[in-house]
A and B are shown apart, each in its own frame.
Chain A
Amino acid sequence: MAERPVLAEALKAHGISRRGFLKYCASLTSLMALPPALAPKVAHALENAARPSVIWLSFQECTGCTESITRSHAPTIEDLIFNTVSLDYHHTLQAASGHAAEEARMKAMEEHYGKYLVIVDGSIPVGNPAYSCIAGISNLDMLKETAAGAAAIVAVGTCAAYGGIPHADPNPTGAVAVSEIIKDKPIINVPGCPPIPIVMTSVLAHFLTFGLPELDELGRPKAFFGETIHDRCYRRPFYDQGKFAEAFDDEGARLGWCLYKLGCKGPTTKSVCATVKWNDGTSFPIQSGHPCLGCTEPDFWDNGGFYKPLSMPAGDYRKLGLAAVAGGAALGVAGGAIARATKSKAAAAHETVDAHDLEKKS
């Protein structure tokens, strides 16, 4: 594996002009919320970045995250950045399998101990570690072993970042996030189901050029998870005007009105979907007429139903409401009856007093 800078050569080999590369660096700089003056520095740093060893661990996942990243609109520079790292272990992409693959991982770990980057997609079952094993090694053991010599860990996708779908109630495998197990290494969470490819490569570029990005309280890079989708949504003016689609095939839906009432989680979901979009900036779920599911947030699977508006109660209120009507009425009858009884008792106990009685007492 080469330690020398490779990006410049890779760009040349793929016919990417320097102008194109600098444009990419400028957009990357703005995407990472860095000052514009830093764009040349990003270009310089990327050109001179050594090729770091990357070990990609796939645990309880659907391969959607890998699919997303490998389908980043190739052949682009994002793709090249990703290719610039030395992906020494990725059992979905690598040709080797079984013990040969595990040997590659062990070799990479030995050679670059303390310097390699670990990317994890998928959650880790701790209920019974045997639920998910690779080459006879449980996910839990493999993560602990590999993380020991890592410089940092990037948890890609909501499963690795927050437990994701395997963590959904009732969580049969006892699935947990990487951060629940590894406490002594820097962890960058890049949630999403799956995450946007350029967000992934930008995080990687930030790590290569300036080290760890600034993270929010949920371990996400602030540059990509600082604002809600709602705040940047092109349908926001309809929300402000009070124009909502009430069904997926009504007039409002056809006119592109706000999807809040169809369960859109945009107001509580932080991501750059609405600005960066997907498939080379083509579209994002809301643009194609579907409400945001809130996939970059922890427990999005259990947050009260995808098609229930955020303001709608998520619990068992109907049954309780009926019980309250019956219970309240019963209590009211009882309360009224007690008050009536007290009234009659007071009337019965009422002593009449006349002038003679008063004179007697005085």
Chain B
Amino acid sequence: MNNPYFDLLMWARGPGFDIALTIMVGGILLRVVEILVLGRKRDLATAKGSPVGQGVKTIFTRSFPRKGLVPFAPITYIGGYIFHIGFAIAFLFLGAHIALIDGLLGLSWPAANRAIVESATALAVIALFALLYTRITDPVRRALSTFGDYLVWLLSLLPLVLGYVAVNKLFGDPTLMMALHILSAEALMVAFPFTKLMHAVTFLMARYYNGSIQGRKGAES
């Protein structure tokens, strides 16, 4: 006799994770190397400023909103911050996730209290819904949205909701919900290199590039 929920959990922890990790790591490498190989034409002009300094600076400065833009799109900015910080806390400070990272990379740090992790999760979920609301109600954003954007929204939401449900045993068999939580995270991993989720890696390259071309011209970025 088997426990089908446990079998699913074991598949998610075993072959499911192996497949998802392979696709994610391979996919990220593929896309980053492809961009680097494509390269840029050499700029023969003499540099007027420091491209490296401005490039590195821009990686950080672009994490803060431009003056006056927050009131222009408050939900996008504030919701965006809450989601990103909430997701990071939930992902990086739950004990079970630290055990996973420890197993993969050998890196470990203290876990946060469950109340903090769960509050961060709840806020991230609320922020996601607020962001979806603006995406749907604002005609410009709606026109700009593609299927990929809605898919990424759903893939970001599911691990948060299913993880919360599994840990708090809100409904469903806890083993099944844990398996579904892991599977939803694996779906996110698989989609990562091939959707806009890739910004979590390429933002470094893009910001550095933008900053460095300005810096080369002697401009502030």
A residues adjacent to B (C-beta < 8 A): 161-163, 177, 179-180, 189, 218-219, 228, 231, 239-244, 246, 258, 260-261, 267-268, 297-299, 302-304, 308-317, 320-321, 323-325, 327-329, 331-333, 335-337, 339-340, 343
Contacts and interface: CB of A to CB of B under 8 A. Distances in A.
Contacts of B33: 328-329, 331-333, 335-336
Given A177-B1, A268-B6, A313-B14, A335 B34 contact: yes
Contacts of A315: 13-15, 17-18
A335 B30 contact: yes
A240 B13 CA distance: 23
B85 to A, nearest CB: 18
Interface in B17-33: 17-18, 21-33
- Residue with the greatest number of chain B CB neighbours at <10 A, chosen from A163, A310, A324: A324
Given A161-B1, A260-B99, A328 B169 contact: no
B10 A303 contact: yes
19 contacts: A242-B110, A261-B102, A299-B6, A302-B10, A304-B13, A304-B14, A310-B178, A311-B97, A312-B103, A313-B103, A316-B18, A321-B25, A324-B24, A328-B29, A328-B33, A332-B33, A335-B33, A336-B38, A339-B37
A180 B114 CA distance: 42
B3 A244 contact: no
Contacts of A343: 38
A212 B35 CA distance: 67
Contacts of B26: 323-325, 327-328, 331
A311 B99 contact: yes
A159 to B, nearest CB: 12
A313 B1 contact: no
Contacts of A228: 174
**Chain B residues touching A, range:** 35 or more
Contacts of A162: 1-2
A244 B95 contact: yes
A313 B13 contact: yes
Ranked 6 nearest A-B pairs via Cβ: A336-B37, A332-B33, A328-B29, A242-B111, A328-B26, A324-B26
Interface in B83-116: 93-100, 102-104, 108, 110-115
B220 to A, nearest CB: 32
A337 B35 CA distance: 10
Contacts of A339: 34, 37-38
A interface SS class:
helix
A114 to B, nearest CB: 25
A61 B14 CA distance: 29
A311 B110 CA distance: 16
Contacts of B104: 313, 317, 321
B100 to A, nearest CB: 5
A268 B18 contact: no
Interface of B: 1-3, 6-7, 9-10, 13-15, 17-18, 21-39, 93-100, 102-104, 108, 110-115, 117, 169, 174-175, 178, 182
Contacts of A340: 37-39
A310 B94 CA distance: 13
B96 A311 contact: yes
A321 B99 CA distance: 18
Nearest to A338: B34
A304 B10 contact: yes
Contact of B14 (A314, A324, A337): A314
Nearest to A228: B174
A260 B100 CA distance: 12
A218 B25 contact: no
A296 B140 CA distance: 56
A309 B2 contact: no
Contact of B99 (A189, A312, A328, A336): A312
Contacts of B13: 304, 310, 312-315
A299 B9 CA distance: 12
Nearest to A308: B103
Contact of B178 (A267, A303, A329): A267
Contacts of B113: 240-242
A113 B99 CA distance: 55
Nearest to B100: A311
Given A320-B22, A332-B31, A337 B37 contact: yes
A325 B14 contact: no
Contacts of B2: 162, 298-299
Contacts of B108: 246
B3 A298 contact: yes
Contacts of A316: 18
B10 A242 contact: no
